[in-house]
Each structure stands twice: as structure tokens, then as C-alpha cells.
Amino acid sequence: DGGITQSPKYLFRKEGQNVTLSCEQNLNHDAMYWYRQDPGQGLRLIYYSQIVNDFQKGDIAEGYSVSREKKESFPLTVTSAQKNPTAFYLCASSPVAGGTDTQYFGPGTRLTVL
């Protein structure tokens, strides 16, 4: 059963702590993405990766870090430098990097920083 998994679905952290969100895909997709959704706003791109061991900043990368050591995994770390970390985080993948490839999304992780 192919797809994208994100865990956990809900995550709570204290202010000042780093937290890592998991994203795994078994679709054999080359490209992976992280978005954040806030109320009343569209999906905003945090980081994306077109290939293993390579990634680029999106529009709102400050306070976040990623790694792409394996094709199927693209974890996102929300650091203490991120000023407003509470949000709904969505991971996506596409067969190859390119706007004409549909992106497939995971179920999302809601992060709440207390």
C-alpha cells in the first residue's frame, strides 16, 4: 500500500525545544516537500528536495532544517529559532521535481508549542 506517512498526527512541545517531524514515502518519488498551513493562509513552502543529499530553501525556511539522507525520508526539524512554530505541517512528494508533476500529500502533523 503506497503512500506518504507523517508521524505523529499531533505533537506538543515546550517553547525553546527543537522538534523533528517525520515524513516517509514508499512511492519511489524523487522530490519531497514540506509545507506549513496557518489559518486563513495558503500552503507555504518551507523546504524541498529534488534528490537524495540535496535540498533547497522554500519561502519560509528560517527556523527550520531538513535532511535527505534516504530517498524515502525527509524529516523536518523545527528549531527554537522559529518564532511561530504552532501550525499544521504537510509533507508532499512528486515523482520528479517539476511543477507539472502532481504532488501527493501526507496526512499532516499538527504541532502545538506551549
Partner 1 sequence: DQQVKQNSPSLSVQEGRISILNCDYTNSMFDYFLWYKKYPAEGPTFLISISSIKDKNEDGRFTVFLNKSAKHLSLHIVPSQPGDSAVYFCAASHNTDKLIFGTGTRLQVFP
- Judged by the rule CB under 8 A, the positions of this chain that interact with partner 1 are 4, 6, 9, 31, 35, 40-45, 48, 50, 58, 88, 90-92, 94, 97-100, 102-108, 110
**Are the CB atoms for 107 and 9 separated by under 8 Å?**
yes
Shortest distance in whole angstroms from residue 7 CB to partner 1: 13
**Burial (0-12, 13-18, 19+ Cβ within 10 Å), 59:** exposed
Task: Report the nearest approach of partner 1 to the CB of residue 64 (Å).
Answer: 16
- Shortest approach of partner 1 to residue 80 CB, angstroms? 26
Cell 511543477 identifies what position? Answer: 99
